[in-house]
Amino acid sequence: MCGIIGVTGAADALDILLDGLERLEYRGYDSAGVALVGDGAIFQARAAEGTHSVASLRAMTQLAPVTQVAGIGHTRWATHGQPNETNAHPHLDCSGAVAIVHNGIIENHLELAESLVAQGHVLASETDTEVLAHLIEDRLRDGVDLEEAVRRALAVVRGAFALVVMSSAEPDLIVAARRISPLIVGVTEQASFLASDIPALLDRTRDLIALEDDQLAVLRPGSVVITDLEGVLVTPTPLIVEWDLEATQRGGYDDFMSKEMAEQPRAVADTLRGRIDATGGIVLDQLDLTDEQLRAISKIVVVACGSSYHAGLVAKYAFERWARIPTEVDIASEFRYRDPVLDDTTLVIGVSQSGETVDTLQAMRHAREDGAHLVVVSNVVDSSMAREADGVLYTRAGPEVCVASTKTVAAQMVALELLALHLAQVRGTLEDATLAEHLVALGELEGLLTIALDRGDAVAAVAEGLADASDFFFLGRHAGFPTALEGALKLKELSYLHAEGYPGGELKHGPIAVIEPGCVVVAVATGGPLREKMLSNVSEVKARGATVVIVAADGDEEVASLADFVLMVPGTDELLSPVVDIVPLQQLAYHLARHRGLDVDRPRNLAKTVTVE
């Protein structure tokens, strides 16, 4: 959730911290802070003004030490304790000589705090994090150095952490450690850096390393040493970063969401690029599963959250229809608590744009314990999930800054459908000609997305017509159902309006009771065998006074008589249609949010990467 930045060996440490924190703002945060070592002491500044906190920090830091040896900074999204200044990071020990920032959750913080208080420590905040500062202070009293004190402190901690520590006693040293929450370190000749996310460091260095679980990094100016938590040296693998900083900026659009929606054709094309050879063979070389293993799969289980879960639901139709493999799609946070039946013929696919969502990561770990094969579909190279899975299928959507996922979801659907066709190819469940047709249809999505996106003005006009509405139902059937769920999620998270997604046929089993004049029903009816039935469901809500918006395929003249508004999209293969059909629903959510004066890139209460359970 939170963002971390740190540097040692740069005279302009404070500027580096504040610039880095600004680049991390997209993750969502409610408060921010920095600490600097210089002039023999630790200087600390914190602000809790929501999304203005980093700007406030800039104003507060004229008092910073003239000599800046090292510094750490943090943007916080509250998990324990209110989002106020006292709870903002960095936190200090009793003496004010140790400063720490932390992402994750210390599960045993209450018992640790109790024993620290009994020993005379004074804890100033309500956070789970602060106990770490006092634990380290306590270990330092044994006469060990900071590195050893951090190791000893972590030995009694349960939970997840990306922890970064400085001390005025060892001014140019930063000690960092990771378990579950991501942490990246980087180095140049003069300075060393660390951050929770790659974009925060890209303008400083491309020599980056992602810490693995239970690793500790010792940063000094121009040098980084990585060990495990016992102190055994490890040889890190350098991180390959293909993105440039420019790619993380808005590129002329009003906001990241518009930019990222517009990037969907490229995201989809890049995800397919190089994965279909000249003979029509599908090449997924990082999958790391032999054809024999792929043929032995008896069941697929997709685990994911939010929009990635919706991409998984879309893929279920493809895995079952094309590859004839029974498929379950689970909300990751529920998966491991239902005692799922898994074995070495189960393929578990984690889907996550960030590759860091802790619920999905833990679901995958559970599946590993039960012997399943693990594959992850991730947009972030070397993400935690990518490192833990047997195989990876990277979506190549580029960095997504807007909190609401758009281009990454399109890329996920396409990656998963390509995987379904690969399984079908290896297992021989589709005729060659049929498979070739599907591959052609996948290749055409780039152009169809461009056409759908170009109709944004028509969607803006529909949004204008719905500006006073506050209740939305999104209906779909078959592959249109996940599209409806995703349309409802986009609308509620961006506009804060009430929106629900339902399978059209489920309406009469309850939800229809709330349909009345003023309700808006958005029906996805772009084709497939259930189009007629979908239109019958639309008639039912129309008869009860709902305002009806229909998403229909080009050439479908019939829908006009049933709808108050029609959103036309280019038609495609019914299992691929969600990739295109979601575009006007993204745009509808976008325009309704803008109409309400809301920040589309940073919806309230949400964060881009959810690294807490």
Question: Catalytic site residues?
Answer: 2, 608
Q: Which residue is nearest to ligand F6R (CB)?
A: 306
Which residues, including other chains, have CB under 8 Å from residue 343's CB and lie 6 or more apart? 370, 371, 372
Chain centroid to CA 95: how far?
Answer: 38
Is it true that the peptide bond before 603 is cis, omega within 30 degrees of 0?
no
Tell me the C-alpha distance between 238 and 215, whole Å: 15
Q: How far is the CB of 516 from ligand F6R (least distance, A)?
A: 29
Tell me the C-alpha distance between 316 and 308, whole Å: 13
Cβ nearer to ligand F6R, comparing 130 with 493: 493
Cβ nearer to ligand F6R, comparing 13 with 302: 302
Cβ nearer to ligand F6R, comparing 68 with 357: 357
- 106: phi then psi, degrees, rounded to nearest 5: -90, 105
Q: What share of the chain is helix, strand, coil (3-state, %, to 5)?
A: 40, 20, 40
Q: How far is the CB of 253 from ligand F6R (least distance, A)?
A: 18
Q: How far is the CB of 302 from ligand F6R (least distance, A)?
A: 12
Q: How far is the CB of 392 from ligand F6R (least distance, A)?
A: 14
How many Cα neighbours within 13 Å face the side chain of 298? 6
Q: How far is the CB of 306 from ligand F6R (least distance, A)?
A: 2
Q: How far is the CB of 404 from ligand F6R (least distance, A)?
A: 4
169 CB-contact burial (10 Å; exposed 0-12 / middle 13-18 / buried 19+): middle
Cβ nearer to ligand F6R, comparing 324 with 596: 596
Residue type, 506: E
Tell me the C-alpha distance between 377 and 296, whole Å: 21
Give the residue among 136, 164, 157 at the shortest CA–CA distance from 148. 136
Q: How far is the CB of 61 from ligand F6R (least distance, A)?
A: 32
Tell me the C-alpha distance between 466 and 567, whole Å: 13
Give the residue among 612, 594, 428 at the shortest CA–CA distance from 496. 594
Tell me the C-alpha distance between 100 and 463, whole Å: 47
**Cα Rg of the chain, angstroms:** 25
Q: How far is the CB of 405 from ligand F6R (least distance, A)?
A: 3
Q: How far is the CB of 62 from ligand F6R (least distance, A)?
A: 38
Cβ nearer to ligand F6R, comparing 103 with 125: 103
Cβ nearer to ligand F6R, comparing 302 with 553: 302
Report the interface residues with ligand F6R, using CB under 6 A.
305-308, 352-354, 357, 360, 404-405, 489, 493, 610
- Alpha helices, H only, 329-406: 332-335, 358-369, 384-388
Cβ nearer to ligand F6R, comparing 138 with 581: 581
Yes or no: say if 597 and 496 are a contact pair by the CB < 8 Å rule: no
Cβ nearer to ligand F6R, comparing 87 with 353: 353
Cβ nearer to ligand F6R, comparing 78 with 534: 78
Yes or no: say if 219 and 185 are a contact pair by the CB < 8 Å rule: yes
Taking the C-alpha atoms of 341, 346, 351 and 355 in order, what is their torsion angle to the nearest 10 degrees?
Answer: 90
- Alpha helices, H only, 382-431: 384-388, 407-427
Which residues, including other chains, have CB under 8 Å from residue 574's CB and lie 6 or more apart? 478, 479, 526, 527, 528, 529
- State whether residue 257 is helix, strand or coil: helix
